[in-house]
């Protein structure tokens, strides 16, 4: 008897951008009509050279920049229509891991206080994925470090006492601590040694699969984007010039700019 295979259920939308435009003073359009969707558990890779509009687009979707035209929906809420106070609340559903881990931490706070800062600000308790009923802040923080393969002894340290890779792991732990709907990864491995980059990417991939995380992965490194993302979007001068699934990246019908990036990738 042949078993019928059930169709895979489509995950709910986390983020939807529709026809986003952003023009700075002087009339320079930094983002031109960008649209995409990220579903729960997905990673969308955004690649392009410096000046392509990647960072501006990220600031727009994080509502750190007001868009000129378009729509931004987060978990079904129209961010483009919310008031300033409503936006502050909505931003809590998004976290960011930046390129420079040293700049992500307050040098005067211990790693434990840095990890717990988002939880305290949002009045949240122990994250559900830690499988712990403990209300002890130390135990919560130590379990968060355990998730990113760092020992609890690091909780008493200050950022200056950690390496770049260790700080980035701590930044990832802090980002997942409040169970956000979306994590924006803005060049998360660009400042790390090559030997450390792969470990951080593997960690991000493992956490995504384990916790069902949704990522927007922004990078100029096509190899990193290809490794992390189910879907790749290529930006050039503010426009989305190419979109493809990872396995289609090397197809002959790719945009000429994508092929240029691939040549740079091949040359590394």
Of residues 109, 107, 112, 104, the one with CA closest to residue 155: 112
Residue 195 pLDDT level (bands cut at 50, 70, 90): confident
pLDDT digits (tens, 9 = 90+) for 4-48: 555 556 789 999 999 999 998 878 899 999 999 999 999 999 998
Range of lowest pLDDT (42-51, 138-147, 242-251) = 242-251
| Chain centroid, CA 122 distance in Å | 20
Over residues 143-154, the mean pLDDT reads 96
List all residues 6 or more positions away from 123 whose beta carbon is below 8 Å from its beta carbon.
Answer: none
Q: Chain-wide mean pLDDT for the chain?
A: 90
Q: Could you tell me which CATH class the domain 13-267 is placed in?
A: alpha beta
The domain locations on the chain are: 13-267
pLDDT digits (tens, 9 = 90+) for 52-89: 999 999 999 999 999 999 999 999 999 999 998 898 88
d(CA 32, CA 156): 46
d(CA 257, CA 161): 42
């Amino acid at each position: 008897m042949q078993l019928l295979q059930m169709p895979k259920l489509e995950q709910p939308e986390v983020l939807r951008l529709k026809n986003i435009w952003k023009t700075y003073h002087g009339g320079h359009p930094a983002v031109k009509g960008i649209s995409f969707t990220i579903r729960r558990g997905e990673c969308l890779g955004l690649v392009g050279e410096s000046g392509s509009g990647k960072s501006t687009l990220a600031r727009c979707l994080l509502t750190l920049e007001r868009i000129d035209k378009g729509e931004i929906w987060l978990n079904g809420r129209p961010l483009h229509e919310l008031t300033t106070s409503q936006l502050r609340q909505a931003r809590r559903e998004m976290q960011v891991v930046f390129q420079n881990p040293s700049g992500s931490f307050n040098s005067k706070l211990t790693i434990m206080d840095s990890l717990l800062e988002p939880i305290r600000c949002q009045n949240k308790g122990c994250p559900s994925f830690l499988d712990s009923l403990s209300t002890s802040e130390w135990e919560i923080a130590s379990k968060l470090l355990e998730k990113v393969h760092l020992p609890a002894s690091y909780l008493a340290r200050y950022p200056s006492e950690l390496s770049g890779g260790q700080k980035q792991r701590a930044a990832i732990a802090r980002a997942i601590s409040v169970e956000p709907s979306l994590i924006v990864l803005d060049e998360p491995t660009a400042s790390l040694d090559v030997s450390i980059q792969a470990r951080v990417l593997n960690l991000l991939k493992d956490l995504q699969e384990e916790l069902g995380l949704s990522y927007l992965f922004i990078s100029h490194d096509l190899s990193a984007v290809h490794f992390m993302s189910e879907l790749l979007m290529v930006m050039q001068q503010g426009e989305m010039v190419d979109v493809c699934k990872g396995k289609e990246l090397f197809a002959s019908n790719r945009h000429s700019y994508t092929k240029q990036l691939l040549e740079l990738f091949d040359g590394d």
